[in-house]
Chains A and B, each alone.
Chain A
Amino acid sequence: MAFEIPKILYNGAIKENPLGKESNRITVGGETCYPFHLFEGNMPHPPKIAMEVYDATPEDWAQAALDPFTDVVHDPAAWAQKCVASYGAEMIALQLASTDPNAQNTTAEQAVETTKKVAAAIEVPLIVWGCCNVEKDTEVLKRIAEECTGENLILGPVEEDTHKALGAAAIAYQHTIAASTPIDINLAKQLNILLGNLGVPDERILVDPTVTGLGYGLEYCYSVMERDRMAALTQEDERLQFPIVCNLAKDVWKVKEAKLSDEDAPLLGDPTKRGVLLEAMTALLFLLAGGDILIMRHPDAIQLVRGFINDLMGS
């Protein structure tokens, strides 16, 4: 009475997206099964981790997250180089937090300059993430798209309100975009349709479902991603068959539990290990739900998650 493994019949596959410069391509996506269900399908390109770099010195970071980077936080290019050289970053994510009109409100010119410096300092693919302000992102990301032709940057977030301007820029200057919608599978699909109508090639679209950290509504994002994969792989929902990018570190490290000292919170143990586990666990849950690219911060969390990916891939 041998037990026969019940397998799921898939009829769709995630598209394969080549990222980065011509000389140093990496590919994400291509799954033909649920995440790590390798007994019934393939994941030709294991998920990748992009390390965060900020365009201005972070002001309110947890000490644990700052410690590994104290020597480079003032210099995004040096920071990016350190991520690659010391921590083996597969990709870099430049967070343009300082462009926020509610923060330092730095200019598009400054953002272009920073992006160029970072791009020149590394060989790995570069994600450039705006400040989530519709007007400012349109202005900044459009300028960056224009001035960094040939870099095949990944530009995000591209929202419904910005998709025309940024989608057109991505087509004209050959970049990839992260299509961003607020934790809703139907909105995600709708935006992907709009981008397709606009003429953005499929291999230049990634999906950003909007993610939050552990303990702060993570379950919504987790289930939207699982539903996304279910629709893409078993219901032939062609407009959801895109690799998923999870910009998770900024939300994980923002919550109070990631910042409290051991004196303030004796029941929460070691602050560094706590932060690392909050980040690694958030990342792992998103991997299990279908994440292809994880944007992460702490080197220890990254090392843990990278090891876990290898273990789940069985290599």
Chain B
Amino acid sequence: MALTGIQIYKLLPKTNCGECGVPTCLAFAMSLAAAKAELAACPYVSEEAKAELADASAPPIRVVEIGTGERKLKIGGETVLFRHEKTFINPTGIAVLVTDEMSDEDVAGRLERFKTLEYERVGLTLRADLFAVKSLSGDAGKFEALVTKVKSQTDGGIILMTEDPGVMEAGLKACADRKPLIFAATKENAEPMAALAKEHGCPLAVKGDGLDEVSELTTKLTEGGLNDLVIDSGARTIRKAFEDQVFIRRGALLKKYKPLGFPTIALPCEMTDDFMQETLIASMFVAKYGGIVVLSDIQGHSLFPLLLARMNVYTDPQRPMATSPGIYEIGGPNEDSPVLVTSNFSLTYFIVSGEIEASRVPAWLIIVDTEGLSVLTAWAAGKFVGDVVGISLKKSGILDKVRHKKVVIPGYAAAISGDLEEELGDWEVLVGPRESAHIPAYLKEWKVG
């Protein structure tokens, strides 16, 4: 992957002209290695050196884009095996299958659910990404008609599924401008499929019987100038498919094995007839390295958990997950409802708000900016102390929203109650439970007067 400063230095002119802004080529090379400089700053670097450096800095797993416009899906580009080592980058694309042998009703149902099943959560819109349109009949006209229908009724990305190049061509005629993923090139049809991918500038999925066959195909295709590839290892049992995902990711990252340096596509819809199990299989691919999962259907009860799994696994662990400070209304509070205050560490927020919700006591939850630290850590760091919390409460505007003058602080922050009372004047500071699990019982006892 990345070259060392010395390796880069060998590719530079070694004239120490200084025009790049640093005095020597060696210093410049070191800056490049640390990603603190751009190669373009050197006016004299040779074309060969540029190509070699670009090649060396290419990500070990290629980023492939499917679709156009707002709903363009990016997959690949991953750099780690475990999310805690850095982060996972491009979330697994979720695709729903329609075929040309489904009834109009079945197709319409999937189109409708694809459109309506959207969920707002911590400022994100969670939803499915793609339609996988599959030809079962082998009839080019039927395929084209179905693709046209899907394209006209959704702005989601499209995967065209047929191994017959003639049928594929018909599908591309209908939607090539939407940059669909062509699924799939196999040992038998690789040449005509590659020609179609090239002609239309579309990404191409490669389906092999095992990773050796996949590697041969991707090598051949990249030699032919196609780089936007997606891998289907062909495995359709849970264990084999899981292992192949691990092998592909490890091959690309640990061995820099280029033939497998592409995102993957997994097909839970071809691995079981049980819809619940299929959804569960999809969640395995969310955690273990699937670029796209193709599902036979989506329902609210299947898609929602899967989207949560994806959101969780792809959350960047380098950033403390923080909730925006401010007032959160839970259960429709009024001027007599309790006021609780806590830190803006997301996990704290989730758990505390969940417990308040569970109590069925409407309440005001005030989130103080603790820079993503939990209550105890924030208190120790001086970010959840009397004056800070007091100022946050005043600034939040909560003092005007309630008639009473009581605020509940977390039990772990009991020590701040004196300072906070001083800061707030005539307000009474109540020390709540230490553990959020005890909030419901506490709130049920809470009285305004």
Task: Show the binding face of A for B, using Cβ within 8 Å.
Answer: 1-6, 36-39, 60, 100, 102-103, 132-133, 212, 214-220, 222-223, 226-227, 230, 254-257, 265-271, 273-274, 276-278, 280-281, 284-285, 288-289, 300, 304-305, 307-308, 311-314
Q: In the complex, what distance in Å separates the CA atom of A2 from the CA atom of B442?
A: 64
List 6 contacting pairs A-B, 8 Å CB cutoff, sorted by A. A36-B239, A60-B358, A215-B308, A277-B280, A307-B277, A308-B277
Q: In the complex, what distance in Å separates the CA atom of A242 from the CA atom of B332?
A: 46
Known contacts A3-B260, A313-B239: does B313 contact A219 (CB below 8 Å)? yes
Residue numbers in B under 8 Å from A280 (CB-CB): 276, 280
Main secondary structure of the interface of A (DSSP, over half): helix
Say whether B192 faces chain A, with CB atoms less than 8 Å apart. Answer: no
Say whether B1 faces chain A, with CB atoms less than 8 Å apart. Answer: no
Q: In the complex, what distance in Å separates the CA atom of A268 from the CA atom of B303?
A: 8
Residue numbers in A under 8 Å from B237 (CB-CB): 311
Q: In the complex, what distance in Å separates the CA atom of A249 from the CA atom of B433?
A: 23
Q: Per-position contact with A for B80-92: 1 when CB-CB < 8 Å, else 0?
A: 0011100000000
Residue numbers in B under 8 Å from A222 (CB-CB): 83, 287, 312-313
Q: In the complex, what distance in Å separates the CA atom of A266 from the CA atom of B239?
A: 35
Interface-facing stretch out of B17-25, B97-105, B145-153, B249-257: B249-257
Q: In the complex, what distance in Å separates the CA atom of A215 from the CA atom of B122?
A: 10
Known contacts A3-B257, A5-B247: does B347 contact A102 (CB below 8 Å)? no
Does B238 lie within 8 Å of A308, measured CB to CB?
A: yes
Does B212 lie within 8 Å of A2, measured CB to CB?
A: yes
Task: Pick the contact of B438: A2, A102, A271, A304 (CB < 8 A).
Answer: A102
Known contacts A103-B441, A274-B300: does B351 contact A212 (CB below 8 Å)? yes
Q: How many A-B residue contacts, CB cutoff 8 Å?
A: 172
Known contacts A37-B246, A102-B438, A230-B82: does B283 contact A3 (CB below 8 Å)? no
Q: In the complex, what distance in Å separates the CA atom of A222 from the CA atom of B212?
A: 32
Task: Pick the contact of B354: A255, A268, A307 (CB < 8 A).
Answer: A255
Q: In the complex, what distance in Å separates the CA atom of A64 from the CA atom of B237?
A: 30
Does B287 lie within 8 Å of A288, measured CB to CB?
A: yes
In this complex, what residue of A is CB-closest to B441?
A: A102
Task: Pick the contact of A278: B84, B117, B305, B351 (CB < 8 A).
Answer: B305
Q: In the complex, what distance in Å separates the CA atom of A269 from the CA atom of B276?
A: 13
- 7 new A-B contacts at CB < 8 Å, known A217-B321, A269-B299, A288-B287: A1-B259, A102-B433, A216-B347, A308-B277, A311-B238, A312-B239, A313-B239
Does A223 lie within 8 Å of B84, measured CB to CB?
A: yes
Q: In the complex, what distance in Å separates the CA atom of A284 from the CA atom of B305?
A: 12
Q: Per-position contact with A for B56-73: 1 when CB-CB < 8 Å, else 0?
A: 000000000000000000
In this complex, what residue of B is CB-closest to A220?
A: B347
Does B288 lie within 8 Å of A288, measured CB to CB?
A: yes
Q: In the complex, what distance in Å separates the CA atom of A140 from the CA atom of B44?
A: 77
Does B255 lie within 8 Å of A6, measured CB to CB?
A: yes
Does B242 lie within 8 Å of A36, measured CB to CB?
A: yes
Does A314 lie within 8 Å of B276, measured CB to CB?
A: no
Q: Per-position contact with A for B288-320: 1 when CB-CB < 8 Å, else 0?
A: 100000000001111111101101110101000
Say whether B79 faces chain A, with CB atoms less than 8 Å apart. Answer: no
Does B284 lie within 8 Å of A288, measured CB to CB?
A: yes
In this complex, what residue of B is CB-closest to A259?
A: B358
Does A277 lie within 8 Å of B354, measured CB to CB?
A: no
Does A281 lie within 8 Å of B357, measured CB to CB?
A: no
Does A223 lie within 8 Å of B317, measured CB to CB?
A: yes
Instruction: List the 4 closest pairs (A to B, CB-CB), nearest first.
Output: A269-B300, A269-B301, A274-B301, A215-B308
Residue numbers in A under 8 Å from B283 (CB-CB): 281, 284-285
Q: In the complex, what distance in Å separates the CA atom of A5 from the CA atom of B260?
A: 11
